[in-house]
Amino acid sequence: MDLKPNKAPLISVVFSFRNEALGIAELVKRCRKVMAELRSRGRISNHELIFVNDASTDNSVFILMELAAELHDIRILNMSRNFGVAPCVMAGLAYARGEVVVYMDADLQDPPEIIPEMLAAWQAGGVDVVHTVRRSRQGEPALKLWVTGIGYAILNRYCAVKIPKEAGDFKLLSRRVVDHLLTLKEQNPFMRGLVSWVGFRQVFISYDRAARFSGASKFFVLSRKVISNFFNSAIVNFSAVPLQIASYLGLTAIFVDLFFIGHVLIEKLAGRAIPGWTAIMTIVLFIGGIQLFCVGMIGLYLNAVHEQSKMRPRYIVESTYGFPGENGGA
């Protein structure tokens, strides 16, 4: 069991980003201001800002390298290709040295000014995870909020672990939680589910989420990528309900089929003519639709097993910059 946290820990802040050139300088500026205030009050001993570059095609990395020369607090991990947010976060956690680690998005919707409050909750003792819960979400369309609400409802109704509603990818983790997360080997990690799954004492802080500082969102709520991530990472990794639904639909099809068989036999014994085509096509289409649905559900799980069995790494780091011992890293 962890003792009372160090009063002045090293804090690591992990960002996964892709093409954030318009706002990344402002992000660094605001983070440095927060860290300077924490250090001046003796609440942290030092900090590091770990930026995981998910194969950006703009000049985000060059901006970061220029900013790194000022204070030597920026570390950069360059992915070999676009791997996605969750693998990049796991990469950042693997390289983080802090006794406490915060991970968050790089678009300034999640304000770094909340970090002192998160740190205070951890330093009070006995807390390993601090979730931030969004009271409001500025600049986001009603459709996205509605679909997101449905997604959270499905997850919390059918998943094995409870995932806090409106708690996104802005969290503070203790060192032991980070170490446990790094032992998990899912090929498609769902960070919100994994953080809840590891357990320990978890608390919540509310805040108002701002609109993006610049640019447009890269995650459209009804896009194939978002929907695929919801099913493949969230549902498949944390619930067997789709397989149960497939079984229930199969049983329903059997009972409907028995009804039609009984009807056919009764009509046959009574010597009445049976209009065949409509009845046959109805039952064939009904059962065929259920079969396709069930095969699709099973296919999701088989694909998850297939991906896991290949044992490929979740990410590949092409290069690093600014870590201790290289490029002036401190």
pLDDT in tens, the chain (330 residues): 444 565 789 999 999 998 888 889 999 999 999 999 999 898 989 999 999 999 888 999 999 988 988 888 899 999 998 888 888 999 999 999 999 999 998 888 888 999 999 999 888 878 899 988 877 666 555 555 556 656 666 565 656 666 666 677 889 999 999 999 999 887 777 787 788 888 888 888 888 776 655 555 555 545 555 555 555 555 555 555 566 566 666 667 666 666 666 666 676 666 665 566 556 656 676 677 677 667 766 776 776 676 666 677 888 888 888 887 666 555
The Cα 35–Cα 236 span in angstroms is 39
Task: Answer yes or no: is 139 within a domain.
Answer: yes
Q: How many domains does the chain have?
A: 2
Are residues 16 and 160 part of one domain? yes
Same structural domain, 60 and 23: yes
| 214 and 69 belong to one structural domain | yes
Within 10 Å of residue 146's Cβ, how many Cβ atoms? 11
CATH value at residue 185: 3.90.550.10
Can you give the residue range of the structural domain that contains 262? 241-309
Residues contacting 196, CB < 8 A, separation 6+: 161, 162, 163, 164, 202
pLDDT of the residue at 3: 47
Looking at residue 152, what is its pLDDT? 60
H/E element, 60:
helix 60-71
Alpha helices in 169-223 (DSSP H): 175-183, 191-198
* Lookup: tokens for 182: 């790094």
- Please check whether residue 230 lies inside any domain of the structure: no
Same domain, 44 and 14: yes
Does 281 share its domain with 184? no
Give residue for tokens 């060192």.
175
Measure Cα distances from 56 to 53, 81, 164, 188 in Å: 6, 9, 31, 21
Q: Are residues 17 and 153 in the same domain?
A: yes
Q: How many CB atoms lie within 10 A of CB 95?
A: 16
